[in-house]
Amino acid sequence: MSDKKVIGGVSIMGFISPNSIHDTYPVIDPLYGIDGLRNVATIDEMITIPDERRRAGMLVGIDGGDRFFKLKDVVWNGTISDWDEIQILLVGNKHPDITFIDKEKPTGLTDGNNSTFKLSHIPITNSEHLYLNGILQEKGNDLDYVLDGKNIIFLEPPFDGMRVICSYRI
């Protein structure tokens, strides 16, 4: 057994896969191994992971694990839109530096003509839950709205008097 203090290892018990140091692709997959998360250096490397190595729900670390992405369960088009960035929250005695904004009423007129509403802060990526008259809206260019910084842009302007509410993290 090696001296873990010298080489920086940890004791483990069980099978770890893949066993090849040449396998740089991240995997959480019964075919290539379970919990074999690998980091890649760049978003471009992540985007170019071949389809045969992709599995919906797989997790990929970028920049040495500073950022994490989850592969969507969609028809992939080979762009960043195939992935959702996810936030990893610390547990125990460590407190993440995240603030929750609940039920904010974005500024903007609901008059049937205005499509743009403004939040007080820029949300953490994919943390927002936007409601129009109590109905959760879906983000995307061909769905209900897009988010550009603090700006919510509805694809169809909300009708006169509709309520817009957004909860998110910053």
What pLDDT was estimated at residue 19?
A: 47
Does residue 107 sit in the same domain as residue 165?
A: yes
What pLDDT was estimated at residue 159?
A: 95
Query: Which domain, by its residues, includes 153?
Result: 100-169
Centre a 10 Å sphere on the Cβ of residue 80 and count the other Cβ atoms it contains.
13
Question: Which DSSP state fits 97?
Answer: S
What pLDDT was estimated at residue 92?
A: 60
Does residue 53 sit in the same domain as residue 123?
A: no
- Helix, strand and coil content of the chain, in percent to the nearest 5, comes to 10, 30, 60
Indicate the SS3 state at residue 7. Answer: helix
Does residue 9 sit in the same domain as residue 75?
A: yes
For residue 106, cis peptide bond before it (omega within 30 degrees of 0): no
Does residue 82 sit in the same domain as residue 145?
A: no
Does residue 142 sit in the same domain as residue 105?
A: yes
- Residue 30 scores a pLDDT above 70: no
Centre a 10 Å sphere on the Cβ of residue 122 and count the other Cβ atoms it contains.
13
Does residue 40 sit in the same domain as residue 112?
A: no
Alpha carbon 118 to chain centroid, angstroms: 22
27, 58 in Cβ contact below 8 A? yes
Range in 4-8, 86-90, 111-115 the model is least confident about: 4-8
